């Protein structure tokens, strides 16, 4: 008789354990799903995944003028708008310093200050400023990415974006380079790089930089580099 009671008690205890495990499992499952939802939101850019894209120059300030007459400000804006589209497809929130042919102030210092304000106040993971280069020797060519020498994040992003740009132009041997004098690199409190996508002083490269398909290729490379940098954080 007492054996039977013992047996019944054991069964009851086992049942209680099963019920508890089930409840615990459901709780755990809910927690995991809950966490997934939170990280899903982060991927949609609502949890600090902000990137600022800065198309250099604009309005009265045309920037460099190409050997073929193309204006830097125009090339910068086209590449930047394409980068914006590509990043937004990946759920990243993109803030532009300009989306039109405009200057942000009456003078160059005011314009740069206004850009730096936008960069700092939005606390982005990365700022990418898009420019085109120029040199007195026509033969010099190839994209190059600059970063502030004291910024570890800036250097990491610059190296990754430089590599991505070299895949578009396999003859380019340039490396990411530190620069502590550019206003935007100096004054921005968040990680920032300047991507000089090519030399407008080189006729052949200027022709490519004015071409929409090539602009798209450059934008895809910069966007890929930005995503890779963000994944590595
Ligand atoms: Zn420029």
In whole angstroms, how far apart are CA 39 and each of 21, 57, 86?
Answer: 27, 37, 21
Q: Are residues 104 and 3 in the same domain?
A: no
Q: Are residues 101 and 58 in the same domain?
A: yes
94-118 per-position pLDDT tens digit: 999 999 999 999 999 999 999 999 9
> Separation of 176 CA from ligand 1 center, angstroms?
17
> Separation of 142 CA from ligand 1 center, angstroms?
15
In angstroms, the CA 27 to CA 25 distance is 5
- Whether the predicted model's global pTM rises above the 0.85 cut: no
> Separation of 133 CA from ligand 1 center, angstroms?
7
Q: Are residues 194 and 221 in the same domain?
A: yes
| Residue 122 predicted with pLDDT over 60 | yes
> Separation of 224 CA from ligand 1 center, angstroms?
22
> Separation of 24 CA from ligand 1 center, angstroms?
60
Q: Categorize the per-residue pLDDT at 40 as very low, low, confident or very high, splitting at 50, 70 and 90.
A: very low
> Separation of 173 CA from ligand 1 center, angstroms?
21
pLDDT at 4: 55
> Separation of 51 CA from ligand 1 center, angstroms?
20
In whole angstroms, how far apart are CA 36 and each of 25, 41, 118?
Answer: 16, 9, 32
pLDDT at 7: 53
Q: Categorize the per-residue pLDDT at 12 as very low, low, confident or very high, splitting at 50, 70 and 90.
A: low
Alpha helix (H) residue ranges in 42-168: 72-89, 108-121, 152-168
> Separation of 198 CA from ligand 1 center, angstroms?
11
Q: Which of 51, 75, 37 is nearest to 224 (CA)?
A: 51
Q: In the structure encoding, which two tokens stand for residue 112, read together?
A: 């740069």
pLDDT at 43: 42
> Separation of 23 CA from ligand 1 center, angstroms?
62
> Separation of 216 CA from ligand 1 center, angstroms?
19
129-182 per-position pLDDT tens digit: 999 999 999 999 999 999 999 999 999 999 999 999 999 999 999 999 999 999
Q: Are residues 19 and 113 in the same domain?
A: no
Q: Categorize the per-residue pLDDT at 27 as very low, low, confident or very high, splitting at 50, 70 and 90.
A: very low
> Separation of 194 CA from ligand 1 center, angstroms?
9
> Separation of 61 CA from ligand 1 center, angstroms?
9
Q: Are residues 70 and 176 in the same domain?
A: yes
Q: Are residues 41 and 133 in the same domain?
A: no
Q: Are residues 143 and 176 in the same domain?
A: yes
The enclosing domain of 114 has a CATH number of 3.40.630.40
pLDDT at 206: 98
Lowest mean pLDDT among 42-51, 72-81, 101-110: 42-51
> Separation of 132 CA from ligand 1 center, angstroms?
5
> Separation of 232 CA from ligand 1 center, angstroms?
28
Q: Are residues 148 and 128 in the same domain?
A: yes
Rounded to the nearest 5°, which phi and psi values hold at 197?
Answer: -75, -10
> Separation of 20 CA from ligand 1 center, angstroms?
66
Q: Are residues 82 and 24 in the same domain?
A: no
User: The domain containing residue 221 runs over which residues?
Assistant: 48-232
> Separation of 123 CA from ligand 1 center, angstroms?
23
Q: Are residues 171 and 76 in the same domain?
A: yes
Q: Are residues 9 and 92 in the same domain?
A: no
Q: Categorize the per-residue pLDDT at 11 as very low, low, confident or very high, splitting at 50, 70 and 90.
A: very low
> Separation of 102 CA from ligand 1 center, angstroms?
14
Q: Give the number of domains in the chain.
A: 2
Q: Are residues 139 and 179 in the same domain?
A: yes
């Amino acid at each position: 008789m007492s054996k039977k009671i013992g047996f019944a008690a054991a069964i009851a205890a086992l049942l209680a354990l099963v019920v508890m495990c089930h409840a615990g499992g459901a709780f755990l499952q809910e927690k995991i799903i809950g966490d997934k939802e939170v990280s899903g939101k982060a991927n949609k850019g609502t949890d600090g995944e902000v990137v600022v894209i800065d198309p250099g120059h604009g309005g009265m300030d045309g920037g460099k003028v190409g050997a073929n007459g193309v204006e830097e400000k125009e090339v910068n804006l086209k590449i930047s708008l394409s980068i914006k589209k590509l990043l937004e497809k990946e759920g990243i929130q993109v803030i532009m310093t300009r989306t039109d042919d405009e200057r942000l102030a009456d003078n160059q210092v005011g314009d740069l200050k206004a850009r730096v304000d936008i960069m700092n106040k939005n606390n982005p993971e990365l700022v990418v400023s898009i420019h085109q280069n120029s040199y007195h020797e026509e033969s010099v060519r190839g994209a190059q990415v600059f970063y502030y020498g004291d910024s570890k994040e800036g250097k990491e992003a610059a190296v990754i974006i430089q590599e991505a740009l070299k895949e578009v132009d396999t003859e380019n041997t340039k490396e990411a380079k530190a620069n502590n004098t550019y206003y935007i690199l100096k004054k921005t409190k968040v990680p920032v790089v300047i991507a000089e996508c090519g030399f407008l002083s080189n006729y052949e490269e200027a022709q490519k930089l004015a071409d929409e398909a090539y602009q798209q290729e450059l934008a895809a490379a910069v966007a890929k580099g930005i995503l890779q940098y963000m994944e590595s954080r």
